[in-house]
Structure 1
Amino acid sequence: MLLVLDPSLISGINQNLNVVDALDLIADARRLGKHMVFGQREVIKFLVNCEQLSMRARSVYRKLYEDLPTTKEYLNRINLSVEIVFEDTLEVLETEKSKVIRASFKYFTDFSILDKTILLAEDHDDILLYHRIVNAYLKWNNWSGVSIKFDARSGGGRNTDKAFNIIQGSKERFCLCLLDSDRETPKSSVGDTAASVLKINDKNQPLCDAIAIGVRAVENLVPTSIYRKVFSHDPNKKTALLFLDTLESSQFLESRIYLDFKKDLKLEKILKEPPNTEFRKYWINFAREFSSGNMQISSTCLEQQVCAQPSSCQCCVTLGLGTRIIKKVESTYSNRDISDMVCDNLKPEWEKIGYLIVSWCCASSQLSTIGASS
């Protein structure tokens, strides 16, 4: 997180000794490389010479003073920052281009909030992919000198709302929660898990935020070229991969956003939905119009909109790749850069997620030369 020290802290030092404690802890967090810290030149210069601060803290602020030109560049590139002020407040100032969380120094008198930002997802495997996405974003946008530090947490699927509620309610940690949208069509609402988290996300507690990604699930973010490599030796996945290839060269490419990459979508599931539901209308139209030579859908069932074999339907409208997909991607591409494999249709969502993670989890390198004896 980008922490900005407000000038009001200078006068506050003489009014409340806890300001000194907060500034010492902020310096220590920067020394450990857990966040980025910035302040106007006169603020940092004052802290360098402030005898009330520890020698180690003053050494950190001296390094920050030397690095001000570089840090200011990131201030202009990151639209989210935390402005630490003397005033007793916790509020958000938001414009079209920036979001500033104004927080009292009182929140920073405990080192808990200065620990790494929590990155909360429904499953730990999701975070493996998010880590790749943010690294790709940094590479594409030439963000040198920025580290990404976060405390990875799994919400446990449907229990993610409980995990998020505890973190946000404590007011003791920064937290970004990324959720699968579980949207099955362009007009459908987010799924139950995302909806339950978004419902309890308290905008008056801005140290944490929850956001649903722009695709159905993290599996939808993986390029088909990568899936092709991951499942290259699995003959059972050949038809599913051919389906994806055909889809990506068709006019129905947008439907890839809403696919269930784990499970096949059978015609029977579509037809058992009420006639006027968005899910039924969208996927019936897809089944009628999309043509793949590798899939056989009963024209009779489709025309009559009645499944002839509801207990054993074999009409696959879309094809899935099974479970633990992201773990298999990680196993295949361990320690390998995949940023050049991201296709044009997925890159905008990668950029969006990458920038979001940078904004919440940006940090600087550890200042290893500034130790306890300074």
Structure 2
Amino acid sequence: MLINIDQSVVEHLFQSNNSDALAFVEDLCRARRKGIHCIYIKKRLAMRMLGCKSLGELQIATLKRIMHDSTYMNSLHSLVSENVVFFSSAINKSASDKWIDICDYEDSYLKTSYLQSPKVVFENINDAMIYKKVCEWYLYQVLELNSYKVSFEPINGGGDTTANVCESLLKEGIAFSVCDSDKKSPSCEVGETARKTKEVFSKYGRSSNFILIEAHEVENLIPLDLYKECAREQQMPIINFLEKAVGLQPCCYGYFDMKKSFKYKEIWGGNKTYSDYWRCIFERVELEGFEIGESRINQSDEGVKVNGTILNNLSVVSKFAAQKLSSMRVEELKLNGVERTWNEIGVKLFDWFVSHDKIRL
């Protein structure tokens, strides 16, 4: 998170009643030492803060480091669309209503929560590994920035309880969430978990703190090449099919149900938005030893089951593919079929969680 300090905060430090300002600066310096946020203070304001006799040696040393960091942060402002500005209403009477007032800072958990590690609720705690890799790729391969990182605290939403977990956090402080869409085609409806979670963030006026990924589930963010490397021989038919399908319709990989794969009745019948999307792909894909069409459904062949699965799923392979992804360097990644989605997610997560490395003083 990019945090900016208004001049009024600095002037508040020099007031006789400066307890809120001192408490704020203490938390600000602690956040910087922990590498939780990026903190920007104009040089002239930082120099003025260093003259405050109420500050201790550790705070002074930290502020000097923040002042040094700020000298090289001009380019960051053009990359981050959302930032937090702290001000003091004791000094500045006309600040934006979107700014955070440090008056009564010590008595407000909401205000102090901005300087704590940002809490991100995922449907499954293991999702965090994949999203951290997305952030790493976006930072180093897209933005080509080596002096920043992303910092957040992953929280387990527990699947369908994700909305409840988010609400409990938002009642007192700030929180963020990333949810799967559960969509099996671009036109399908969003899943219940994502829908309820989105409603919670809207209820608390935090809609911009919620991301709905355009993918069926987080496993669809793992590049297909990694599934291929981890797959056994019996899992290759679906890998080969998806490779062909992506060549015809690049975004279709994001809507494949890794756990259930395809069923005859869903492709040739069932939900129209789902079946229409995938049926035309099936009819165009050519694979050796694989042939299926609507006419086969009407046959009484013993081997053809209307309720059966057309191709095997990848639920077992996804675990190994995710582990392989976590151990890879970003320059080794081939993002066939997922690059656009990774970029969209990376933009948002960088916006929320950009930070500097930890420092020791």
TM-score normalised by L of structure 2: 0.86
**Cα RMSD (Å) of the superposition?**
3.1
* Residue 186 of structure 2 is aligned to residue 194 of structure 1: no
How many residues end up aligned between the 2 structures? 351
SS of the residue corresponding to residue 80 of structure 1 reads coil
User: In structure 2, how many angstroms separate the alpha carbons of the residues matched to 1:341 and 1:315?
Assistant: 31
Preserved CA contact (<8 Å) 1:6 1:83: yes
The answer for the alignment partner of 2:249 in structure 1 is: 252
Shift of 1:193: 0.8
Report the alpha carbon displacement of residue 360 of structure 1 after superposing the two structures with TM: 1.5
8 A Cα contact 1:121 1:160, kept in partner = yes
Residue identity matched to 1:367? I
User: What secondary structure is seen at the aligned counterpart in 2 of 1:349?
Assistant: helix
Sequence identity (%): 18
Decide whether aligned partners of structure 1 residues 319 and 339 sit closer, same or farther in structure 2, where only a CA change above 3 A counts: farther
Deviations 1:308-362 (A, max 9, x none): 999763461x65212471x312433553214432335421221221222222222
Q: Partner letter of residue 345 of structure 2?
A: I
SS of 1:67 mapped into structure 2 = helix
SS for the counterpart of 1:313 is coil
Structure 1 gap ranges (5+): 94-99, 370-374
Which residues of 2 match residues 24-173 of structure 1 at below 5 A?
Answer: 24-87=26-89, 102-106=99-103, 109=106, 112-140=113-141, 141-171=143-173, 173=174
Q: Report if the CA contact (8 A) 1:271-1:307 is conserved.
A: no
Which protein has the bigger helix share? 2
What amino acid is the match of 1:142? E
1:283 matched residue in structure 2:
278
Deviates more, 1:57-66 or 1:286-295: 286-295
Conserved 8 A contact 1:107-1:113: no
**Which residue does the alignment assign to 2:358?**
366
1:200 to 1:315, Cα distance in 2 relative to 1, 3 A = closer
| Local SS of the residue matching 2:187 | coil
- What are the superposed Cα offsets for residues 70-103 of structure 1, whole Å, 9 maximum, x if unpaired? 12332232222111121399xx98xxxxxx9522
Letter paired with 1:337: R
The CA distance in 2 between the partners of 1:356 and 1:345, in whole Å, is 19
Structure 1 residues 306 and 268: CA distance shift in structure 2, 3 A: farther
Deviations 1:131-151 (A, max 9, x none): 111111111121111122211
What SS does structure 1 have at the residue aligned with 2:190? Answer: coil
What residue is the counterpart of 2:241 in the other structure?
243
Residues 264-315 of structure 1 show CA distances to partners (whole Å, capped at 9, x for unaligned) of: 21122345536xx42233334334444434434253256x699999976346
Q: Is the 8 A contact 2:37 2:353 kept in 1?
A: yes
Q: Does residue 215 of the first structure (1) align with residue 215 of the second (2)? A: yes
**Residues 160-217 of structure 1: CA deviation (Å, up to 9, x unaligned):** 001111111112x4x3211101122222221111001001113754497111012222
Higher strand share: 1
**Unaligned segments of structure 2, at least 5 residues:** none
Aligned with 1:184: secondary structure?
coil
Change (3 A) 1:305 1:108: farther
SS at match of 1:202: helix
Find the aligned partners of 2:205 and 2:74 in 1 and give their Cα distance. Answer: 27
Q: For the residues of structure 2 that align with 1:229 and 1:241, how far apart are their CA atoms?
A: 10
Partner Cα distance (2:103, 2:132) in 1: 32
